[in-house]
Each structure stands twice: as structure tokens, then as C-alpha cells.
Copies of this chain bind each other. A is one copy, B any other.
Amino acid sequence: MQSDSMQAVVITTPGGSEVLELREVRRPEPGPGEVRVRVAASALNRADILQRMGRYPVPEGYPKDIPGMEFAGTVDAVGEGVDEVREGDAVMGITGGGAYAEATVVPASTCVAVPRGMSLLDAGAIPEVFFTAFDAVILQEGLAAGETLLVHAVGSGVGTAALQLGRAWGATVIGTSRTAGKLERAAALGLEHAVLADEGWPERVGEITGGRGADVILDLVGGPYLAGNQKVLALRGRHIVVGVTGGSIAQVDLRALMGRRGSIRGTVLRARPLAEKVALTRAFVEDVLPHFEAGRMAPVVDRVFPAAEAAAAHAYMETNANFGKILLEW
């Protein structure tokens, strides 16, 4: 008989990484249409840090004090009316919160089968960043073969995912980073044009594209890069912002945007209604999953921490030293 409690990483009070503690909490039970996943790995996201500081509102229906927006693990309980997933299945997915725990309950319709031959730990590094990059660059901005994709912070989790998606979709990929070492690792992942951000990246992007600019820009930096992004946006270019780690406020030149017939879009996954998350999950299964199974894409794992060391994992993420994903293992 299973215990009705479990371990979880809890935000004991809003604050620094030290407020994260392993605590005993109630083990959740799946309702109709839901499954419970015994979590093998959950990965860190920047939004977890904001949530820990009390600066990121958690969507309705998810635990307020247990972070964790993605999971990989094994289904260990199935709610009523679930037929797409069975007990024992290896699954991964995104969720609105609560994945920093031994077990998490999610709608069965948001579970994706772990690619054949991949460990649960590696799978834990896939969902949030590949969903985010796929949704932003491919589904929303319609990156097409032959176009140029500019990825800022290419060494981040989303950056490494976007780089792989861009190449798989036949685009020319340019990546920026402030760290030479990350650019080297991105080159090993297939990045064709690596640009050191602090050495005049807009001019470099202009040179690389022969003045044409980038058709799609995936931006995790925000404010400080907006002027540069406006300069390098190609005619009919699409600039999509998925993070504002550098700041949120900046000056925009609307006339320049008209001349380029360009767009700036902001997006976020977490707050979406379930139906949209299910639609995204299905598109991911159809269009992206086969690339993992064929070995053309791979999750990028920087470092694995035991779940009990979640505080250390957060502190590490805040140093910005990671290339790819930081995982918590149960």
C-alpha cells in the first residue's frame, strides 16, 4: 500500500534560494481525465526563480508553494475516463506548477510518451524548452526553410532547443551569447553563426545576412536588445519575446517597424488554458517528437542535482553558468 504522503520541494516563504526545502506533503490523487506521474526528473526554469521570490503568479488549480513547470517520469495512478495513457507508461510534459515533487498530477491529454531509447532523466530536459521554442518559432512565427533565425542567449535551455529546431526546419541559425564558452558548445550542437553579444552583435548579424537581417528573432533578453533587434529585423520579420531577463522596458521605433512590415510579439506558455496546452502537445508529438526518435535532436543537460539540493540548483541557475538545462532528480 502506498503512503498518502510524499516529498516535495516547497517554497517556505518568498525569498532567495535558501527558502526552498524538502518537506513532507500530501500525495495528490488523479481526478477524472488525470494521471499521477512518479517524477524521475523535473527541470528548472527562470520562472521558478520569480515564483520563489513571490513575483510570478501561479495559474489557478496548481500548488502555489511547489514550483516545477515540467516533468518526466512513470504513470503510477490513472483517473477515471483516461484511455490514452496507462500505469507504467514513461511520460513527460509541461504543467502549470507542482513538478518539484516525487509525484505530480496532470491531465492525461498533456502527457507525451518519452522517446524510445531515452532515459527519464534526459527526457526531463525536453518539455518546457522544446515546447516553448517550437510554439514560438514554428507555430506562432512560421519559420520556413531558407529563412534566417536569430536566437539570443543561445546557450540557455530555450536557446539550445530553438537552435536545433531551426536547423531541423531548414533555417540558417545565428546565435548570440555573452560567453565564448557557450558559443563553442552551441557550435558543437550545429550553430552555424556564433556571435559574441558584447562585440556589436547587430553589426555582426548585418554582416552575416548581407544586410537582409533575421526573419525570425527568438528573444529571451528583452529590453536591452530591442534597439538592436529592430535594426536587424528583416522585411516581414517576426520578433518574438519569450523572456525579459535583461529588463522589460525599452524604446521602440514604430515607423521602423512599419518600414520593415515587422512584428514584435510576446508569449508565455504557463498561463494558457488547458485546451491550448493540449493542442500544443499534439502538435509537438506530430512534428517534433520524431526528430528525437531519429536522433536528429537531443535534450541538452547541463547538470543534475538531487531533489534534496534544489536550493543549490537554484543558486547555480542564478549564476548563469549553465549551458542547457539544470535538472532535479528524484
Chain A contact residues, CB within 8 Å of chain B: 222-223, 226, 241-242, 244, 248-268, 271
| CB closest residue in chain B, given A264 | B264
- The docked-state distance in angstroms from the alpha carbon of A226 to that of B264 is 13
Known: A251-B252, A262-B265. 19 other contacts (CB 8 A): A223-B254, A226-B252, A244-B254, A244-B255, A248-B256, A249-B252, A252-B252, A252-B264, A254-B266, A256-B266, A257-B265, A257-B266, A259-B266, A259-B268, A261-B265, A261-B266, A263-B265, A263-B266, A264-B264
Q: Which residues of B contact A256 (CB under 8 A)?
A: 248, 266
Interface residues of chain A: helix, strand, loop or mixed (majority): mixed
Question: What's the minimum C-beta distance from A279 to chain B, rounded to whole angstroms?
Answer: 14
- The docked-state distance in angstroms from the alpha carbon of A266 to that of B255 is 7
Q: Which residues of B contact A226 (CB under 8 A)?
A: 252, 254
| CB closest residue in chain B, given A235 | B271
Contact status A254-B265, CB under 8 Å: no
Question: What's the minimum C-beta distance from A179 to chain B, rounded to whole angstroms?
Answer: 23
Q: Which residues of B contact A252 (CB under 8 A)?
A: 226, 249-252, 264
Q: Which residues of B contact A251 (CB under 8 A)?
A: 249-252
Candidate in A223, A249, A251, A266 with the most chain B CB atoms within 10 angstroms: A266
- The docked-state distance in angstroms from the alpha carbon of A262 to that of B258 is 17
Q: Which residues of B contact A248 (CB under 8 A)?
A: 253-256
- The docked-state distance in angstroms from the alpha carbon of A226 to that of B259 is 18
- The docked-state distance in angstroms from the alpha carbon of A257 to that of B249 is 11
- The docked-state distance in angstroms from the alpha carbon of A260 to that of B267 is 8
Q: Which residues of B contact A253 (CB under 8 A)?
A: 248-249
Candidate in A223, A252, A256, A259 with the most chain B CB atoms within 10 angstroms: A252
Question: What's the minimum C-beta distance from A76 to chain B, rounded to whole angstroms?
Answer: 34
